[in-house]
A and B are shown apart, each in its own frame.
Chain A
Amino acid sequence: MQQRQVELAVGVFILLGIIALAFLALKVSGLSFQDSRTQTYTVVAEFNNIGSLKPRAKVSIAGVTVGQVTSIRLDPLSARAVVEMAINKDVDYLTTDSIAGIKTAGVLGEQYISISVGGAPDVLEDGGKIIDTQSAVVLEDLIGKFLTNMGSKD
C-alpha cells in the first residue's frame, strides 16, 4: 500500500514534468509538429544592404506574417547579401515581379522583410528569386544625406 502511494506520487511528478516541457515547447516556443520543410517553400532575394536583419526574422505581406528568414549569406561575386526565406505553402500567389523590402517594426523594433505582391501572370516556384528589392534604411546614411543637403543649400 505504502509502495503504491510512492509510485503514484512519482508518476504524477514525472507527468507534471512532461506536461511542463510540452507547455514550454508548444505554447512558449511555438513549436509545431508539422514538418516545416513540406509546409513551406524557399524564395531567395538579393539585397544591397540588409541592415541588422537576422535569421528567423519574419516575412510579411501587408503586415500578415507568411514566413521567416532561414539563412543570410554574402554572394562573393556581386558582394550583395543573399537572403533565403521560407514562405508558407498556402501563399502561392507571390508573382515574379513582387518587391521585397526590409522594414523596421517600430523605432527600436526588429527588422523584417515586407513583400508587396505585383501583377505579373507568373508565380514564384520553390527556389525562385525576387529580383526587385529595397535595402534596409540605415539611419546613419539618412542623417548623412540630410547633412550634405543642408550644406549644399547654403
Chain B
Amino acid sequence: MLKHIQALGAWGLGVTAGLGRATQIWCRALFALPDFRYGPRLLIQQIYYVGVFSMIIIVVSGVLIGMVLALQGYTVLVRFGAEAALGQFVSLTLLRELGPVVAALLFAGRAGSALTAEIGLMKTTEQLVAMEMIGVDPLRRVLRPRLLAGILSMPLLAQVFNAVAIWGAVMVGVHWLGVDAGSFWSNMQSSVDFSADVMNGFIKSVVFGLVVTWIAVFQGYDAEPTSAGISAATTRTVVHSSLAVLALDFFLTAVMFGIS
C-alpha cells in the first residue's frame, strides 16, 4: 500500500520536475540575448525545415478537408433549402476551429516529431555536450531558432490551410454542386468578422505553434540518450502536443467565443 503511494508521489515529482525543466529551457532559449554572429540565418534555415517542408501536407489536407466540409454541409443544408448558407458554414467552421486545430495536429506530426528526433539524436551523439565544451550555448544555438521558427511558421501554415480549404469548398460547392457563387460569397462575407473570426483563429494558431514546438524541443532535449529513448520521446511529442492542442483549443474557444 505504502509502496503504491510512494510510486504516486514519485510520479508527481517527476511530472513537476519535467514541467520545471521545460519552462527553464523555454525561458533560457527565448529570452536569451540574440546571437548576432549568425544573424537571421539560423532562423531562416529552421523556417525552411519546419515551415516550407510542412507546406505540402498542409495544402493537400486543406483542399481535401474543404471539399469534404462542402459536401457534408451541402447534403444537410439542401434539405432545408438553405444551401446558400454553405459559404457561411464552411468559412466559420474553418476559421474558428478546424483550420488552427487540424493544421496544428499535422504540424505536430510532420515538424514536431522531426524536431524531437533531431535534437534527441544530437543529445545521444553528444553533440550538445560538445557544443557546451567549446563555449556555444546549445539552447541559443540549437533550440532558440527552432522555437522561433515554429511560432512563426504555424500561423502562416494555418492561414494557408484556411485559404486553400475555402478554395476546395468553392470547387465542390459552387463548381460541382451548383450553389450560387454570389450568395455563397456574400453569405460568407456577411457572417465572418475579421477581428472576431479571422484574428481569433490567428491567435489560436500562434498559441498552438508555441505549444507544439515547445513540447517537441523539450522532449528532444530531455530524451534519454539511447535509440529507444529517442523513439519514446518522438512518440511522446506527437501524443502530448495533440492532446495539448485539443485541450487548449477548448479553453481558447471558451474564452474567445463562449460569451457572445
Chain B residues within an 8 Å CB radius of A58: 190
Chain B residues within an 8 Å CB radius of A143: none
In the complex the two chains form, is A24's CB within 8 Å of B160's CB? no
Chain A residues within an 8 Å CB radius of B190: 30, 56, 58
Chain B interface size band reads: 20 to 34
Main secondary structure of the interface of B (DSSP, over half): helix
Chain B residues within an 8 Å CB radius of A64: none
In the complex the two chains form, is A20's CB within 8 Å of B159's CB? yes
B 76-111 to A, binary, CB cutoff 8 A, 1 in contact else 0: 000010100000000100010000000000000000
Kindly identify which residue among A6, A7, A24, A108 contacts B80, using a CB–CB cutoff of 8 Å.
A108
Question: B95, B157, B163 — which one has the most chain A CB atoms within 10 A of its CB?
Answer: B163
In the complex the two chains form, is A16's CB within 8 Å of B156's CB? yes
Binds A, one of B10-18, B47-55, B113-121, B250-258: B47-55
Binds A, one of B127-135, B191-199, B235-243: B191-199
Question: A10, A27, A108 — which one has the most chain B CB atoms within 10 A of its CB?
Answer: A10
A9 within 8 A of B: yes
In the complex the two chains form, is A10's CB within 8 Å of B51's CB? yes
Interface size on A, residues (CB 8 A): 26
Chain B residues within an 8 Å CB radius of A79: none
Q: List 7 A-B contacts (CB under 8 A).
A: A9-B52, A13-B48, A13-B156, A16-B160, A19-B163, A24-B159, A30-B188
Q: Identify the B interface with A (CB < 8 A).
A: 41, 44-45, 47-48, 51-52, 55, 80, 82, 91, 95, 153, 155-157, 159-160, 162-164, 166, 185, 188-190, 192-194, 197-198, 202
Q: Identify the A interface with B (CB < 8 A).
A: 3, 6-7, 9-10, 12-14, 16-21, 23-25, 27-31, 56, 58, 106, 108
* Additional A-B contacts beyond A13-B48, A13-B51, A28-B192 (20; CB < 8 A): A3-B41, A6-B45, A9-B52, A13-B52, A13-B153, A13-B156, A17-B156, A17-B157, A17-B159, A18-B156, A20-B156, A20-B162, A23-B163, A24-B95, A24-B159, A24-B166, A25-B194, A25-B198, A30-B189, A30-B192
